[in-house]
């Protein structure tokens, strides 16, 4: 099949969270399975053209794209996704994308992604490349299905093209004032009550995508079920319920070419289940980097996260004194809301031999933490899939997670596995969202850490898991077939 894959971020060019990782890896896996894939993302000025080998596409030249009544010139650059033959097309419009940030709160944020969405369709037309599927991701690409079916319906080349929308996080919906549809030249009737995009007097790009795409999926089975409830659906639950028959859950994979302690070039000591010696050396190296005293017998708890409400760190805030009494050290890498940044910043100041905090984004350090920490904490309030717990499994860094979304689908609690008569657990988890329950799960992990043979077993159980993209890519192939059937009215 021919697949056009559209995302607001694609690793290694731009990444603010897991979507970047997914968009950098899934297309490569799809192409390995025989699909012809082209990836599209905006050309931000946050990454180097030469560093990533971007080429200007002279054949396409300048493409006029109209947004809010103004013609904006769009140019196209291409590159090849690392380790693959997949071509990525960068939609270049400095007026919108040279902001030194990937996403913004600027008043024209809607226009930026209207331009991106229309730009993709215009590029496809000029390439004369008819995709079987346009695979949209999150609100930034949520308008593509309706644009394709209505604004560009005149172009017969898209008659059979089906659209898929993947929801990576329903908490981000792209809600804009009501003139956003006029800016995109989408019919005003879709802004009327009951229309595709109307949302409490505003326009909602994600809702539009949910209602207009042929099929929808999200990134784990449990999150799919959660999304249909008011607690998790963030106001979109009724629309997801209305599309229940076309709504699927497909767990993300991870890229073991990037995340593998045996081959990772960002860590000083490689290791594998057959030889774990490197892990303790990495812990020592990491402690040195962080100015923490190194003690093999004191467990090091790692956190790598966007510091936002979703990730559950208010649990840490409430129970912080209790947590600091635990015999453990902490390393926190993250950025986000001021309240969480100052919580962890102050903690490191108050407990310099126990806590080290790095505020900001640091890819190399994220690999070092995965390799050097003993435990990885992810107490999310909700988690569509989550990738870091999967990286942690591979690095023998035992995850402690809340049972929600993808965390519930990927981590098997050690004590629960024992209770069921097997020693198959890969981590520790808790159900009810409370700091007491989180502390309890952490304490169970710390107890297990004291017994080296038990710990070793849990680590190895995790390292043996296989969350490679292969299985997920198969499921996406099936999803594309369903989308085509739907498009053809069958
Ligand atoms: P989300 O997409 O909700 O942020 P995921 O677990 O799916 O959560 O993916 C997060 C990705 O972003 C992981 O690859 C993680 O390593 C990375 N990440 C998050 N914060 C940082 C940071 N401060 N520095 C480096 N990488 C980070
Ligand atoms: C989102 C979710 C995260 C998921 C990622 C990739 O950012 O918060 O759980 O892993 O998208 O799908």
pLDDT digits (tens, 9 = 90+) for 213-254: 999 999 999 999 999 999 999 999 999 999 999 999 999 999
Q: Is the CB of 399 under 6 A from ligand 2?
A: no
Q: What is the pLDDT of residue 217?
A: 98
Q: Which residues contact 211 (CB under 8 A, 6 or more apart)?
A: 196, 239, 242, 243
- Predicted local confidence at residue 103, as pLDDT: 98
Q: Are 324 and 351 in contact (CB under 8 A)?
A: yes
Q: What is the pLDDT of residues 354-376, one digit of tens each?
A: 999 999 999 999 999 999 999 99
Which CATH number fits the domain that encloses residue 475?
A: 3.40.50.2000
**Residue 388 C-alpha to ligand 1 middle, in angstroms?**
7
Query: Do 456 and 475 fall into the same domain?
Result: no
Calpha distance 274→427 (Å, rounded):
20
Tokens of 86: 């997949």
Q: Are residues 244 and 306 in the same domain?
A: no
Does 293 share its domain with 237?
Answer: no
**Rounded distance between C-alpha atoms, residue 90 and residue 75, angstroms:** 8
Q: Which of 302, 306, 380 to mutate to test the pocket of ligand 1 (most atoms within 8 A of CB)?
A: 306
206 and 351, same domain (yes or no): no
Total structural domains within the chain: 2
Residues 259-272: tens digit of each pLDDT: 999 999 999 999 99
Tokens, residue 169 = 């996080």
Q: What are phi and psi of 350, to 5 degrees?
A: -75, -35
Pocket residue to mutate for ligand 2, from 7, 16, 22, 168, most atoms within 8 A of Cβ: 168
Question: Based on the domain organization, do 108 and 53 belong to the same domain?
Answer: yes
| Mean pLDDT calculated for residue range 404-410 | 98
Q: Which domain holds residue 56?
A: 2-253+470-488
pLDDT in tens, 125-158: 999 999 999 999 999 999 999 999 999 999 999 9
Q: How far is the CA of 418 from the centre of ligand 1 (A)?
A: 31
CA 415 to chain centre: 29
**Predicted local distance difference test score (pLDDT) of residue 384:** 98
Q: Would you place residue 14 in the very low, low, confident or very high pLDDT band (cuts 50, 70, 90)?
A: very high
pLDDT bin (cut points 50, 70, 90) of residue 318 is confident
Calculate Rg over the CA atoms of the chain: 23
- Is any atom of ligand 2 closer than 6 Å to the C-beta of 252? yes
In angstroms, what is the span from residue 453 Cα to ligand 1's centroid?
31
Average confidence (pLDDT) over 469-477: 96
Task: Let me know whether 39 and 51 are in one domain.
Answer: yes
How far is residue 334's CA from residue 338's CA, in Å, rounded to a whole number?
Answer: 11
Q: What integer pLDDT is reported at residue 257 of this predicted model? A: 92
Which of 79, 88, 76 has the alpha carbon at shortest distance from 37? 88
Given this model, what pLDDT does residue 51 score?
Answer: 94
Q: What percent of the chain has pLDDT over 70?
A: 100
Quick: pLDDT tens for 18-75: 999 999 999 999 999 999 999 999 999 999 999 999 999 999 999 999 999 999 999 9
Closest CA to 384 of 233, 213, 197: 233
Q: How sure is the predictor about 316, in pLDDT bands with cuts at 50, 70 and 90?
A: confident
Q: Please compute the mean of the pLDDT values over residues 442-463 and round it to a whole number.
A: 98
**In Å, how far from its chain's centre is CA 167?**
10
Does residue 268 sit within a domain? no
Q: What value does the mean pLDDT of the chain take?
A: 97
Whether 437 shows a pLDDT value over 90: the answer reads yes
Q: How far apart are CA 321 and CA 331, in angstroms?
A: 17
Are 175 and 308 in a shared domain? no
Whether residue 456 is found in the same domain as residue 478 = no
Q: Provide the pLDDT for residue 317.
A: 87
Residue 262 lies in a domain: no
* Separation of alpha carbons 387 and 380, rounded Å: 12
pLDDT digits (tens, 9 = 90+) for 379-388: 999 999 999 9
* Ligand 1, residues at Cβ distance < 6 Å: 17-18, 21, 304-306, 333-335, 361-363, 366, 385-388
Instruction: Determine the Cα–Cα distance for residues 247 and 219; give it in Å rounded to an integer.
Output: 11
Question: Hey, is 66 helix, strand or coil?
Answer: strand
Q: Measure the CA angle with vertex 349, ends 348 and 354; round to 5°.
A: 45
- Distance between CA 313 and CA 298 in Å, rounded? 22
| Pairwise pLDDT comparison (489 vs 92), residue with the higher score | 92
Say if ligand 2 is within 6 A of residue 22 CB: yes
Task: Please report which helix (H) or strand (E) contains residue 315, including its range.
Answer: helix 313-318
Contacts of 142 (CB under 8 A, 6+ apart): 136, 165, 174, 205, 206, 207, 208, 209, 210
132 and 85 belong to one structural domain: yes
In a domain, 298, yes or no: yes
Q: Report the chain's terminal Cα–Cα distance, integer Å.
A: 19
C-alpha 326/C-alpha 381 separation (Å) is 23
């Amino acid at each position: 099949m021919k697949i056009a894959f559209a995302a607001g971020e694609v690793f290694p060019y731009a990444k603010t969270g897991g979507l970047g990782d997914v968009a950098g890896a899934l297309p490569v896996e799809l192409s390995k399975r025989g699909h012809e894939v082209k990836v599209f993302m905006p050309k931000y000025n946050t990454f180097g053209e030469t560093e990533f080998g971007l080429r200007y596409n002279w054949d396409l030249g300048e493409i006029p794209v109209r947004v809010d009544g103004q013609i904006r010139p769009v140019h196209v650059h291409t590159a090849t996704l690392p380790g693959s033959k997949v071509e990525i097309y960068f939609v270049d419009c400095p007026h919108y994308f040279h902001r030194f940030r990937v996403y913004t709160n600027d008043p024209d944020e809607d226009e930026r992604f209207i331009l991106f969405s229309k730009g993709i369709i215009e590029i496809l037309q000029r390439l004369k490349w008819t995709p079987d599927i346009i695979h949209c991701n999150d609100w930034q690409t949520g308008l593509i299905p309706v644009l394709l079916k209505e604004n560009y319906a005149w172009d017969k080349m898209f008659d059979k093209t089906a659209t898929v929308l993947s929801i990576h996080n329903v908490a981000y919906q792209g809600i804009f004032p009501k003139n956003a549809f006029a800016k995109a030249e989408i019919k005003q009737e879709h802004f009327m009550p009951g229309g595709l995009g109307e949302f409490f007097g505003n326009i909602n790009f994600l809702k539009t995508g949910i209602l207009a795409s042929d099929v929808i999926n999200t990134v784990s089975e449990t999150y799919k079920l959660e999304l249909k409830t008011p607690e998790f659906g963030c106001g979109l639950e009724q629309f997801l319920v209305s599309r229940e028959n076309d709504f699927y859950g497909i767990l993300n994979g991870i890229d073991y070419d990037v995340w593998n302690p045996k081959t990772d070039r960002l860590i000083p000591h490689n290791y594998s289940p057959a030889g774990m010696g490197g892990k303790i050396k990495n812990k020592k190296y990491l402690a040195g980097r962080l100015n923490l005293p190194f003690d093999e017998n004191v467990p090091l708890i790692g956190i790598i996260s966007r510091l936002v409400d979703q990730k559950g760190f208010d649990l840490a805030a409430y129970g912080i004194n209790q947590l600091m009494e635990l015999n453990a050290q902490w390393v926190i890498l993250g950025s986000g809301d001021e309240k969480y940044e100052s919580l962890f910043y102050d903690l490191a100041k108050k407990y310099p031999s126990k806590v080290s905090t790095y505020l900001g984004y640091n890819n190399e350090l994220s690999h070092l933490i995965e390799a050097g920490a003993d435990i990885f904490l992810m107490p999310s309030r909700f988690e569509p899939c989550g990738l870091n717990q999967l990286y942690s499994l591979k690095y023998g860094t035992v995850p402690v997670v809340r049972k929600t979304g993808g965390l519930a689908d990927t981590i098997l609690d050690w004590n629960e596995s024992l209770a069921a008569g097997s020693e198959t657990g890969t981590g520790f988890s808790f159900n009810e969202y409370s700091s007491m329950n989180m502390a309890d799960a952490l304490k169970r992990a710390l107890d297990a850490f004291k017994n080296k043979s038990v710990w070793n077993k849990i680590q190895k159980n995790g390292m043996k898991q296989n969350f490679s993209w292969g299985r997920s890519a198969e499921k996406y192939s099936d999803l594309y077939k369903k989308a085509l059937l739907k498009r053809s009215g069958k």
